[in-house]
Structure 1
Amino acid sequence: MRNPIIAAVAFDGISPFHLSVPCLVFGADRTKLGLPRFDFRVCAAEEGPIQTDAGLSISVPHDLSALDEADIVIIPSWKDLEAPLAAPLKGALERAHERGALIVGLCLGTFAIAAAGLLAGRKATTHWAYTDQLKALHPDIAVDADVLYVDEGDIVTSAGVAAGLDCCLHIVRARYGAEAALRLARHVMLSPHRQGGQAQFIERPLAPTPTADRFAKALDEVLATLGEAHSLDSVADAAGLTRRTFTRRFQKTTGTSFGDWLADQRVALAQRLLEQTDKSMDMVAFEAGFGSATSLRQHFSARLKTSPMQYRREFSRHAPSDRAAYSTVL
């Protein structure tokens, strides 16, 4: 079985930081973390060294033919947002998409994918400061300015700068499992999982306060006891806040609602249990706080577009011997 081929498209004037995002996630040997050895290729339409916007020059080893074999094609950013896409790149993106490669636009890279005509009638995002421009240029795209990334199955787009790292980790998690993504996040010192629906802006308190400490401790307690019941009122009480104040502070701190955050944490725990243990679906549901296998299945379907059983088959090291034992549960 060949190594997965990841092609990142560079161009004259690219930001070294934006190019470094896919390099960090896919460009190094991560086999010790349980990931495959990626065949990572940086390519460009231009010949010879390209100049970055930081004054550095980069020797790019591949041309656009790298897209013809790639399993994942990543556009880390883009320039000349209103100019038509050059025919060679447009054709390479169309061919890659048609044969089933995953197309990824990080930050302004969404503009290149849109210019190739691949986002018509779809949902997408980009850096919040450019969402109005994306809407104006491509009114047939449902632009969501309030999320970190959008996964449309065969095309993934992200918000700006650091959200590109969240998006790449999301791709790792979707293809290689939550535990591998967690190990990678820990290795490169990133937040292990920020859901795509989380807001691009997150307001945070200016300084620690005793109330803020109680707020953080209340959330830590929830994370340590996900299998138990946690109502909004009980957690707000533990934080020493009224329900309304807690709700407002939680939204400002995390960019999402308490209910969505709690469900996301429970799904992430269930993913790890399915990957690392051979516990029954009922036990996984109980320990993750869902109460029943039915509820677990509903949350997996809504958030991961798969079932717990299918997830276990794809990512669990226990799957071959346990498949028959669990087939009657789901």
Structure 2
Amino acid sequence: MHTVAVLALDHVVAADMATPIEVFGRARLADGRRPYRIMVCAATPQVAGGAFTIIAPYGLEALREADTIVVPGCSPAVPPAREVLDALCAAAAAGTRIASICAGAFTLAAAGLLDGLSATTHWIAAGRLAQMFPRVEVRPDVLYVDNGRILTSAGAAAGLDLCLHIIRRDFGSAVAADSARLSVMPLEREGGQAQFIVHAQPPVPQGSLLEPVLAWIEDNLAREVTLADMALRSGMSERTFSRRFREQTGTTPLQWLLRARVRRAQFLLETTNHGVERVAAQAGFGSAAAFRERFKRVVGVTPQSYRSSFRANAS
């Protein structure tokens, strides 16, 4: 099993600490096995959590057993104990993957683990992180940053995105998608960071008047679909349809369609050996060139690079 150590520090944010425990703890492989073992570690047996007190079953020495360490957010005004920073540095030197949620980035920065790297944290604390640690390239407009062995995420909700991203890196998209459904995650997240999580269906507001139209679009991604086609299926004028669509999905019909096509392409790249031209046609892109350009803009990498990363993991 892959061991995940969640480091509880004084004044820890409850949601930040619960996120990795729940997301990794619920993950299941295709055969039903749990791929992760969770340990809650702390420098002292009891940790102050504001309205509650945490009794940690494991001390800092347990970090040496971990394959991944997750550092939840805590008050940036309270500097971490030297022994905590030393333990994190030792783990990083040993090759352990270390991730932070929200203000947990301050702890990683204090340990020097973010020097020379890009990182993110809650937008409200991004300026303070940049001021306190000038050697860190702070990116306040992204949900998470993956530097390989060191990862950081924005606010608490972005911690969910980061945990799902890690699951996908470890065990592939199918396990990550199941974990997302168990976490009742939205099926699409807006943000500057390219999101790799693929879900079986695009976001469909349950009970919405648009639900049948969105399901029809999903079934017809490979053909040309226009705004007029969508409006006709909904029984609305194009103007009314566009307004209702933005109200209920938070985006335009065209953007929703393009992202649904990118998701379809991601699935095909992961699960088939089809060439880029065929994937482009199956996902509804007019040409391979248009597909490559749109895919890289949304996902952040080329289709070939994406396939190389996630086809291997899924296998």
TM bracket (short chain) = 0.7 to 0.9
Give the match's secondary structure for 2:159. helix
> Once the 2 structures are TM-superposed, how far is the Cα of residue 9 of structure 1 from its aligned partner?
0.4
Instruction: Flag the structure with more relative contact order, 1 or 2, with Cα contacts below 8 A and sequence separation at least 6.
Output: 2
Choose the corresponding residue for 2:66, options 43, 61, 70: 70
> Once the 2 structures are TM-superposed, how far is the Cα of residue 273 of structure 1 from its aligned partner?
3.0
* Aligned match of 2:159: 164
Question: 1:19-54: per-residue Cα shift (whole Å, max 9, x none)?
Answer: 1100111124623576752121110111x2323222
> Which 5+ residue runs of structure 1 have no aligned equivalent?
200-207, 317-330
* Aligned match of 1:31: 29
Choose the corresponding residue for 1:128, options 119, 123, 126: 123
* Aligned match of 2:110: 115
* Aligned match of 2:56: 60
In structure 2, the CA distance between the partners of 1:187 and 1:113, relative to structure 1 (3 Å rule), is: same
> Once the 2 structures are TM-superposed, how far is the Cα of residue 138 of structure 1 from its aligned partner?
1.7
Q: TM-score, normalised by structure 2?
A: 0.75
Higher deviation after alignment, 98-107 or 30-39: 30-39
CA distance in 2, matches of 1:83, 1:261: 43
Give the match's secondary structure for 1:189. coil
Give the match's secondary structure for 2:250. helix
- Contact 2:271/2:311 (8 A) holds in 1: no
Higher deviation after alignment, 174-183 or 258-267: 258-267
> Once the 2 structures are TM-superposed, how far is the Cα of residue 7 of structure 1 from its aligned partner?
1.0
* Aligned match of 1:9: 7
Question: 1:286-321: per-residue Cα shift (whole Å, max 9, x none)?
Answer: 2223466677677777736534255323314xxxxx
* Aligned match of 2:93: 98
CA distance in 1, matches of 2:10, 2:78: 15
CA distance in 2, matches of 1:99, 1:45: 19
- Contact 1:43/1:60 (8 A) holds in 2: yes
Give the match's secondary structure for 2:107. helix
> Once the 2 structures are TM-superposed, how far is the Cα of residue 225 of structure 1 from its aligned partner?
3.2
Question: 1:242-273: per-residue Cα shift (whole Å, max 9, x none)?
Answer: 9xx87xx59x925xx98876555434323333
CA distance in 2, matches of 1:35, 1:172: 14
The correspondence of residues 193-272 of structure 1 with structure 2, limited to 5 A, is 193-194=188-189, 197=192, 221-229=216-224, 240-241=238-239, 253=250, 264-272=259-267
> Once the 2 structures are TM-superposed, how far is the Cα of residue 224 of structure 1 from its aligned partner?
3.9
- Contact 2:11/2:49 (8 A) holds in 1: yes
- Contact 1:176/1:315 (8 A) holds in 2: yes
- One-letter code aligned to 1:128: W
- One-letter code aligned to 1:313: A
CA RMSD in angstroms comes to: 3.8
Question: 1:206-252: per-residue Cα shift (whole Å, max 9, x none)?
Answer: xx9xxx966x776655444333456789879998249xx87xx59x9
CA distance in 1, matches of 2:259, 2:93: 32
In structure 2, the CA distance between the partners of 1:307 and 1:17, relative to structure 1 (3 Å rule), is: closer
In structure 2, the CA distance between the partners of 1:122 and 1:261, relative to structure 1 (3 Å rule), is: farther
- Contact 1:120/1:141 (8 A) holds in 2: yes
In structure 2, the CA distance between the partners of 1:310 and 1:292, relative to structure 1 (3 Å rule), is: farther
* Aligned match of 2:197: none
CA distance in 2, matches of 1:260, 1:35: 38
The correspondence of residues 293-304 of structure 1 with structure 2, limited to 5 A, is 303=299
